[in-house]
Structure 1
Amino acid sequence: MAVLAVMAPMAGLGSAGAASAAEHCLHRLGAHQQVADGGGIQSWSVADLKKSGDVPDFPVAGQLWEATATVTAILGTSTPVIPNFAATSVGARYPALWQMASPRGISPATLTQGQTATGKIYFDVTSENPMAVTYTAGGARPLMWCCGETMMAMPMDACPCCANMKEPCPCCAGKM
């Protein structure tokens, strides 16, 4: 329900100008989105999706990528579930390397209400470069962060987040 409350304002963006829509895009990299976590609510922000050189000795099949994530326990206690993250491209999905130990990685420790944790999430990218990061929790619609510069250069039907929408994404309208 919390995800629906966050996504509901997107419906009103369809009539706004392209620049205005992009500035208020709820799934743009860096935007804050909420998700229910058991009895609590978390707010997540994911930004700066890029190739990584943080852990050169970690064995990957492809190229190590990273994104910076921030989580806040909005209501009640909240446990960040790092394996719920994946980086995506048009034809591939790269699960988070949750088992990778890194001093820069985001902590999966439980947060009490009001506490925040920031760190990196890592992905093993074996083919196409990712353009988005998703967070899937149970049966809720996944949270997504995209609309970065690499995504803006591709056609709407190639967007891994928006391709299945019946109408153009209100955040990205006019950008393609």
Structure 2
Amino acid sequence: MTEFVLFCAPTLIYVVVQSRRSDRSAGAAMRLAGVSRGSLAAYGWALVLFVPLLAAGWLSLALVPAEVLEQPGVSVAAMSSVGVAAAVVLRAVGEEVFFRGLLGGVFIRRLGFGWGNLLQSVVFLVPHLALLAVDVRLWPLIPVQFAAGWLLGWLRHSSGTLVPGAAVHALANLAAGVVAAGLLPV
């Protein structure tokens, strides 16, 4: 829950500041931050992206030695807990609000899609590098994090909203957690 609040706070501040401009409504400020329902097509693309995200997550977990996944701080054996599942969903939504909604939106508007999306993907990767401090053998997760950041940035840019990306990000994280917990075979 704390991570969700920390990820969402900068975007909330951005929306408040933008909506106080005389030429911008609160709705327009929310849309700048990627907060809108989005079209049915955007959710269709999110479902399409779910397949490669899930496959890449599964493959990266298959490359990590089993004893690494069982270490304290890495183990997700409690994935069957509703509290853990809720935390996984809230973190994914918070990451989408901050990285794709706020940073992706600002970077892409200022730098164009190519450089803006690349930059938000790299920034998204930075906190995930902490996995290497836990155990360097978690390295297969790093390229997947970068690719997921780029694909979700593309979805945010093409749809104008972060909501479908947040949904697919949460589902992919839940599925990866279920696989890592051994509830589904790798």
TM above 0.5, one fold?
no
- TM-score, normalised with respect to structure 2: 0.26
Q: Which has the higher helix share?
A: 2
- TM-score, normalised with respect to structure 1: 0.27
